Structure 1
Amino acid sequence: MSINLKSLVSVLNAEWIGSPADIFIDHISIDSRSLQNGSQTLFFALSGVNHDAHLYIAELIEKGVQNFVVEQIPENVTGKANFLLVKNSLSALQNFAAYYRAGFHFPIIGLTGSNGKTIVKEWLNFLLSPDYNIIRSPKSYNSQVGVPLSVIAINEMHNLGIFEAGISTVNEMVNLERIIKPNIGVLTSIGSAHDEGFENLKQKINEKLLLFKDSSVIIYQNNDLVDECLSEFCSQYFLDGRTLFSWSFTNDSADVFIVEKEAKNDSTLIKYQYKGEVFSLEIPFSDSASIENAISCLLVLLYFEYDFALIQNRIKMLYPVKMRLEVKNGINGCSIIDDSYSSDFQSLKIALDFLESQKKNASKTVILSDIFQSGFSNEELYSKVAQLISDNKIHRVIGIGPTISSFKDKFANSTVFQNTADFIHEIERFDFNNETILIKGARSFQFEEIVSLLEEKTHETVLEINLDAISHNFNYFKSKLGQNVKMMVMVKAFGYGNGGLEIAKLLEHHKVDYLGVAFADEGISLKNGGIKLPIMVLNPESTSFPSIIQYNLEPEIYSIKGLNAFLKIAREKNLKDYPIHIKLDTGMHRLGFENNTIDELIQTLKGNSTVRVQSILSHLATSDDSNYFDFVNQQISLFEELSLKLMSELNINPIRHILNTSGISNFPNAQYNMVRLGIGLYGVSNDSAEQKYLENVGTLKSIISQVRTIPAGDSVGYGRRFMAQKETKIATIPIGYADGISRLWGNQAGFVTIKNQKAFIVGSVCMDMLMADVTHIDCKEGDSVVIFGESPTVIEMAEVLRTIPYEIMTSISQRVKRVFFR
């Protein structure tokens, strides 16, 4: 994104007050706490019942933000920045998003409904991401604010969008429709969530259908009321060629009719009829909500004309979406089901089903807040809730909130509190022991504090690996390749420190052509983990050749000595056409055959049927440095000359590859038959312009072990390298140089992030700990600490430490637990 700010005056219906010069913005923000706010940020000052961002404009200006969309200009900032003055900042944000969206013309899937939007969105992203570069709503950004923020994230590399739209009353969808403009509409389950904003269910369905005003297909579950609403909708909003694509458990006239449904342990086998044929499909879930969501995904895949075998293979790999329900280990042998996200009647039913299927202990406790968005009177609602609790054989109920407290008598064995703070104050009197605890509350009750107190405190330092980000980065670089150009992805050095096997499994899902490792033991580990992809070993030692053959790995051969050693073993094993990869040295001068050894290489290989040259490769030395692009072109020319000579003399037509990550971006004309993607997969580019298109993969996290306040004159750490100039609050964090944190990052050279704020490291980094100045941060023991991720990034750390991101990423110790999530 790079937009001339003044060009937005008419788009936003704004009055310009500011500099006469042309100004370009590349970032949109509504969060004054964001560390990404900067000189090219356009900040929309939103105001609502409980907040007014105009109050933070002065602070933002001090941080370098110069461009604002405002409803009024605070007196203390007049003349200090550029302002687009509008009547309503939220409407202006929506206008901007609609304007921005109009610049892109790829297919967009729009999702709406009462339940399942986020799950279907995440599953569709997983199912379609091997074939598309997808932009989707983050988390549950489906509101009047969330939708425009989601759409603004589109860039020119995307070729499919998936956005969800949520509404709570009438006249809201019209705003979201003009922003999303979906070509494909998916209506998920319709229930009682947000019923308060509508006269009846029909009005709610009609309002939701407005999202599909210009959609060429609408996917939905067939029932009488939805059919009636759709008939009226299509009459009112006629679109030539629009398709209604339905499914049903009961109506055999639906496009997809579920003939049979059979529970199998934790999965469900369905048989569905489509276009006169019956197909089987295994869904890896047993609860009804997940089955319905999976069927919605099935219809999207059918609409995209996916092969039935491929549909079966991908859907059986679906996974639980953890942003709403997540199982965690608790204190004293308890297990916790964390649903501290929403509280409505329909989701409570789902959560209780989940509790039953996931319980590790016979005794069950529910901690429940006031319930919203039910559509019932309070008397009727809590009677239904009490019945649900009874039916699910819950042993103890802890109710939190003024409304549920007033209906305490409806629940057996219950204790109630007016608010979360009151419960936390008395939490120690509850003997939580060997039970399964469902923590279910609306966001406003801040039940995450309860989760934090009851969760088992283990694995305090973890490296979280975002597999979605890896998929995004893979698709970004894949989109740069010419037709039929293959992709090798490097997973050496434990996947650049991120975890080799888990990433290899994801890449196998994405149908990557080759994996690359440095040494044979890395390849063996992947093969033992079940990886079927071909794996090239870049630095094979001659002693590893028998193991390479045993595990069907493919060696890179870079010397006559190595070739003869491999040929000897291959002949002893009576191999025929075993794949090898010939490395040419075109200027890196690290490994490879040079010009003066090519003739001997040819003579050794001529007439040889034991091995087959699978590929010819070389390595670029300076593809990331524009000062040496001439040298890169010399390397490419020499590679062309030597590889053609090999191909001609040996009468072969192997794969050729020379480009690494930066080469893919900077030398598109040298893609040959294959490229090798390395650091770019993990979200790192040497090009700041390209970096904006990549997503962060690894986030190294820890917690605060202890907080203390020291007086002026006291020191911190070994060698007294930090002396407090004033009273200073110090946080100790359990991670040090034994975990891979450089000592050079200490003593105010580097920082960690706590509560979205920078906390500079003070004193020397110890073997197992480091200390940070948190005087300005309201934090406590147990609070989360980001060592690197979004801020600081490994790129920022590398600049300070005068090294490269590779070194930082691969230095993280194996004693740091890796946690993978989608």
Structure 2
Amino acid sequence: MTLSIQNIEKMLHAKRFGDNNGIIDTISIDSRSLQNNQKTLFFALVGSNNDAHIYISDLIKKGVQNFVVTHIPEGLANKAVFLVVENTLDALQKFAAHHRSLFKFPVFGLTGSNGKTIVKEWLNFLLNPDFNIIRSPKSYNSQVGVPLSVISINDKHNLGIFEAGISKMDEMEKLENIIRPTIGIITNIGTAHDEGFEDLEKKIKEKLKLFKHSKLIIYQKNKIIDALIKSKIKSFSWSFNDETADVFISKKEIQDKTTLQVRYGKENFDVQIPFQDEASVENAATCLMVLLSFKYDKKTIQNRMQWLYPVEMRLKVKNGINKTTLIDDSYSCDFQSLKIALDFLESQKQYKNKTLILSDIFQSGLSNEELYTKVAQLLKNNKVNRVIGIGETISAFKNKFTNCTTFKTTADFFLNFNYLNFVNETILIKGARHFQFEEIVSALEEKTHETILEINLNSISHNLSFFKSKLKPTTKMMVMVKAFGYGSGGFEICKLLEHHKVDYLGVAFADEGISLKNAGIVLPIMVLNPETTSFSSIIQYKLEPEIYSLKGLNAFLKIAEKRKLKHFPIHIKLDTGMHRLGFEEENLDELIAILKDNKFVTVKSVLSHMATSDDLVHQEFAHSQITLFEKLSSKLMSELQIKPIRHILNTSGISNFPQAQYDMVRLGIGLYGVSNDAEEQKYLENVGTLKSIISQIRSIQAGESVGYGRRFVANKPSKIATIPIGYADGISRHWGNALGFVTINNQKATIIGSVCMDMLMVDITEINCKEGDTVIIFGESPSVTFMAHQLQTIPYEILTSISQRVKRVFYRE
């Protein structure tokens, strides 16, 4: 895509300010991307929590010269070219719709509650021997993601596969105008985003708007869909139980596979797929329908579908060997998803040096010369220090890359593995599936036991945005990352928060802050419970201490004077009723006297902590705290002639006492998906999922016991599974003896007997499972909130108890 600014101006019906006859070849909405350059057109999107106009000044300094805006920021009128429009998101969508109109090949539009990304990836696998396919990268299916996907179409593509996701009414028409699918696919209609629709019929009616101009719709037969499809559109339905469908499918499970017995018109044939779970079988049936609609013969269908594979939709961050961090994106390799992965690499890099292990790139729609020239420039922009290429094609273009080593095959890579010296670096592993890069991930990954805590970074971002939406535009946000990020992990979450430009991080003790600074975090970090012995380290690492007593203040000032500090930032804690830490009203005059005309420190903020913000039964007490905070902080400001940041609200306070936002709030447990309010909990996403596996399954007879002390005795023949997680990993012993449960294959398995140090046992008598199957210890079910209620504690204790020996795996969908 290369367009002149003049052409874009006409296309968007924009008003142009500034002269530029340059060419645009990149569209961007992310000010943080290292891919922004002189040929970038930046759309300054405005959301409920963020306005990208505030980043334009920084982007100009980085070389970006062309912007689509709703207004020109003050002082920038003559420093760049601005295309002024009423709504920048509408403009982005209009741009994408125009680009789509230039191409006439078949385009699939996928919608549904579940399965869209799986079906898209499988269709890409099944059809790519015959087509040059453009598809949505990852799950780019939103009002922003769809236009960014469609803009990537080029002249070499001859088939498109795009997802469309909606969460409320009146969203689909905009996506239809951009995708303009010629063939529609409806995947599973489930309960996701139900809250945005009055009923199922209205939800389906909204989704069907995607197919306004389609010639064919493929779907699982459903009476509501049947009634709503317009007569001019041809339907092609399938079913497991309705024999009036165009294609009737029976299922038969054999070992770990499923045979689909297909009846289509006069034809009957079998197709084998390597799955048995209901969702995968449904998604495979949808893909089968597409192959039938394209008139593929049964032998081709049988041959290709037997090789369907599990699709990993996540970018995962893992600890690697020799002080390395791995970003695992080892299941696909195309140009668009490489750009996304490189942005993620920058947002999650723990080590300065960045290494990319990259396979041949397929289906770019570009000549190899043009493709690898673009890839080389992309890696240069992203400041990748080392490239390891694997594949015949990338090896042929090795000279385009700086500091590049190539191998023809993955096997050749392993022959030289010991000479590649992976150490102190962040490594992005990005490979097309048949290169089997999962073996590279396995070789580089730090070996730990099979229990992991998965942290969903998308959910962190969602929850952050949810609480930001409750704030005034001028209110700053501190995020609490103490106690190893409430058990979820420190650096990785802090790096994401830095990416989202929060204002402060909060830790309990100096060593937590030092660890983050050593890892490269540059956000200001407040130490809330500093010990006087840590003041020297706090100063050395440029942390900012909370000062809560005269003794502590005098100790810090003594060191500050000795080191000849000037205006070192400190934070004054006031006790307004919590009676834990802080200056009380009777100390205020002495505090003011010490701080007055003091040049060694600067009061950066004044804060207090609410004792009952989560319990509205005590809201009178909460209001008394706010009133006292106003009185004491105002006196400090007046007497010292200062304007510090003031903050008193924690997570519950943000929701329950919005009038007391002051200058900043402190978000804690809410970031991790936990609320004390049941209604608010519905809007938060689960962040942490603690997983393990079944180590062993055994059968016992009535009268036999399990575990220490024979606390469980079977009253009938039973099947018992042993899970390698115990109280040394953070699972309370009280959670055993039939109080708690785990989830295996979406079914509850009761914990029987005592929880051991490294193991627990569960009853799987009624569950179809095998050794090696995944076990959910907590996540969606049971949730940490449920566990806390059963154990008569709080979610904080559940989360922070998870041992450091449990590996944390961070991922982004």
The TM-score normalised by the length of structure 1 is: 0.53
Matched with 2:136 is: 117
Judging changes above 3 Å, is the alpha-carbon distance between structure 1 residues 314 and 729 closer, same or farther for their aligned structure 2 residues? closer
Paired position in structure 1 for 2:186: 144
Does the 8 A contact of 1:136 with 1:163 survive in 2? no
- Name the Cα RMSD after superposition: 4.9
**Is the alpha carbon distance of 1:461 and 1:122 closer, same or farther for their aligned partners in structure 2, counting shifts above 3 Å?**
farther
Output the CA distance in 2 between the equivalents of 1:171 and 1:569. Answer: 76
**Other-structure match for 2:335:** 291
- CA distance in structure 1 between the partners assigned to 2:608 and 2:522 by the alignment: 25
| Matching of residues 221-240 of structure 1 within 5 Å | none
Aligned counterparts of 2:448 and 2:141: Cα–Cα separation in 1: 29
Counterparts in 2 of 1:693 and 1:747: CA distance versus 1, 3 Å: same
List per-residue Cα deviations over 1:58-114 (Å, max 9, x = no partner): xxxxxxxxxxxxxxxxxxxxxxxxxxxxxxxxxxx989xxxxxxxxxxxxxxxxx95
Task: Tell me the residue number matched to 1:104.
Answer: none
Residue 512 of structure 2 is aligned with which of 522, 533, 546? 522
| Residue ranges of structure 1 left out of the alignment (5+ in a row) | 1-92, 96-112, 129-134, 180-191, 201-283, 298-311, 321-334, 338-343, 363-390, 397-435, 442-447
1:482 paired residue number: 472
Partner of 2:769: 779
| Cα distance in 1 for residues equivalent to 2:432 and 2:332 | 19
2:783 is aligned to 793
Structure-1 separation of matches of 2:738 and 2:331: 52
Q: Distance in 1 between matches of 2:696 and 2:331?
A: 43
Of residues 683, 687, 702 in structure 1, which corresponds to 2:677? Answer: 687
CA distance in 1, matches of 2:333, 2:711: 58
Q: Residue 735 of structure 1: SS of its match in structure 2?
A: coil
The partner residue of 1:197 within 270, 293, 309 is 293
SS at match of 1:747: coil
Matches within 5 A, 1:402-413: none
The question of 1:170 aligning with 2:215 is answered: yes
- Matching residue within 569, 572, 580 for 1:590: 580
Q: Could you tell me how far 1:197 is from its partner in structure 2?
A: 3.3
The 3-state SS of whatever aligns with 1:460 is coil
Residues 731 and 358 (structure 1), Cα distance of their counterparts in 2 relative to 1, 3 Å cut: farther
Q: Please state how far the C-alpha of 1:171 moved relative to its aligned partner.
A: 2.9
* 1:427-486 deviation line (CA, Å, top 9, x unaligned): xxxxxxxxx998769xxxxxx9xx99xx99963100111111100000000010012100
Q: CA deviation at 1:759?
A: 0.3
Counterpart residue type for residue 335 of structure 2: I
**Equivalent position amino acid for 2:186 in 1:** Q
Deviation digits for residues 716-763 of structure 1 (CA, Å, limit 9, x no counterpart) = 111111111111111001110011000000000000000110000000
Give the equivalent residue in structure 2 for 1:470. Answer: 460
Q: Distance in 1 between matches of 2:695 and 2:718?
A: 17
**Deviation digits for residues 190-242 of structure 1, max 9, x if unmatched?**
xx995763699xxxxxxxxxxxxxxxxxxxxxxxxxxxxxxxxxxxxxxxxxx
CA distance in 1, matches of 2:135, 2:599: 57
| Equivalent in the alignment of 1:626 | 616
Measured after TM superposition, the shift of residue 317 of structure 1 is: 3.7
Q: CA deviation at 1:290?
A: 3.4
Change beyond 3 A, Cα 1:710–1:293: closer
The number of equivalent residue pairs is 488
CA contact (8 A) 1:491 1:517 kept: yes
Q: What letter matches 1:144 in structure 2?
A: I
2-structure distance, mates of 1:195, 1:114? 15
Matches within 5 A, 1:572-651: 572-651=562-641
- Residue 555 of structure 1 pairs with residue 545 of structure 2: yes
Counterpart contact for 2:693–2:775, Cα < 8 Å: yes
Cα distance 1:127–1:173, how it changes in 2: closer, same or farther (>3 A)? closer
Question: Could you tell me how far 1:627 is from its partner in structure 2?
Answer: 1.1
Contact in 1 for aligned 2:348/2:496 (Cα 8 Å): no
SS at match of 1:612: strand
Paired residue secondary structure (2:666): strand
Q: Which residue pairs with 1:758 in the alignment?
A: 748
Deviation at 1:145, TM superposition (A): 3.5
**CA-to-aligned-CA distance 1:613-665 (integer Å, 9 cap, x gap):** 00000000011111111110000000000000100110111000000000001
What amino acid is aligned across from residue 197 of structure 1 in structure 2?
S
The 8 Å contact of residues 567 and 601 in structure 2, kept in 1 or not, is answered as: yes
CA spacing shift, 1:490–1:437, aligned 2, 3 Å: closer
Deviations 1:487-535 (A, max 9, x none): 0000000000010111000000000000000000000000001000000
In structure 2, the CA distance between the partners of 1:118 and 1:360, relative to structure 1 (3 Å rule), is closer
Q: Secondary structure at the match of 1:813?
A: coil
- The superposition leaves residues 544-602 of structure 1 with CA deviations (integer Å, 9 ceiling, x where unpaired) of 00000000000000000000000010111111111100000000000000011011101
2: CA distance, partners of 1:164 / 1:758: 39
Query: Match of 1:365?
Result: none
Q: Distance in 2 between matches of 1:653 and 1:509?
A: 28
Whether 2:546 is the aligned partner of 1:502: answer: no
Aligned position for 2:99: none
Give TM-score, length-normalised by structure 2: 0.53
* CA distance, structure 2, for counterparts of residue 518 and residue 743 of structure 1: 27
Task: Answer yes or no: is 1:708 the counterpart of 2:750.
Answer: no
Given that residues 127 and 315 in structure 1 are in contact (C-alpha distance below 8 angstroms), is that contact kept between their aligned partners in structure 2? no
Contact map agreement 1:147 1:165 (CA 8 A) in 2 = no
Deviations, residues 101-134 of structure 1 (Å, cap 9, x unaligned): xxxxxxxxxxxx9543142618967999xxxxxx
Contact 1:615 1:656 in 2 (8 A): yes
1:585 & 1:757 partners in 2: Cα distance? Answer: 48
Aligned mates of 2:625, 2:560 — CA distance in 1: 32
Partner of 2:522: 532
Q: Which amino acid aligns with 1:460?
A: E
Q: Which amino acid aligns with 1:508?
A: E
Is the CA contact (8 Å cut-off) linking 2:448 and 2:807 kept in structure 1? no
Q: Deviations over 1:644-697 (max 9, x none)?
A: 010011011100000000000100000000000000000000111000101111
Distance 1:794 1:114, change over 3 A: same
Alignment deviations for residues 253-311 of structure 1 (CA, whole Å, 9 cap, x no partner): xxxxxxxxxxxxxxxxxxxxxxxxxxxxxxx999997334678x8xxxxxxxxxxxxxx
C-alpha separation in 2, matches of 1:696 and 1:721: 33
Aligned to 2:451: 461
Match of 2:559 in 1: 569
Contact 2:695 2:724 in 1 (8 A): yes
User: Partner of 1:493 in structure 2?
Assistant: 483
Percent of aligned pairs with the same amino acid: 60
Task: Measure the CA separation in 1 of the matches of 2:802 and 2:593.
Answer: 45
Provide the residue aligned with 2:802 in structure 1.
812
Indicate if the aligned counterparts of 1:170 and 1:198 stay in contact, CA closer than 8 A: no
Q: Distance in 1 between matches of 2:808 and 2:391?
A: 27
Query: Does the residue aligned with 2:140 lie in a helix, a strand or coil?
Result: helix
One-letter amino acid of the counterpart of residue 792, structure 1: P
Aligned to 2:240: none
Q: Secondary structure at the match of 1:121?
A: coil
- Deviations along 1:746-796, one digit per CA (max 9) or x if unpaired, are 000000000110000000000110000000001111111000001100001
Quick one: which amino acid aligns to residue 136 of structure 2?
K
1:101 maps to none
> After alignment, is 715-724 or 503-512 more displaced?
715-724
SS in 1 for 2:722: strand
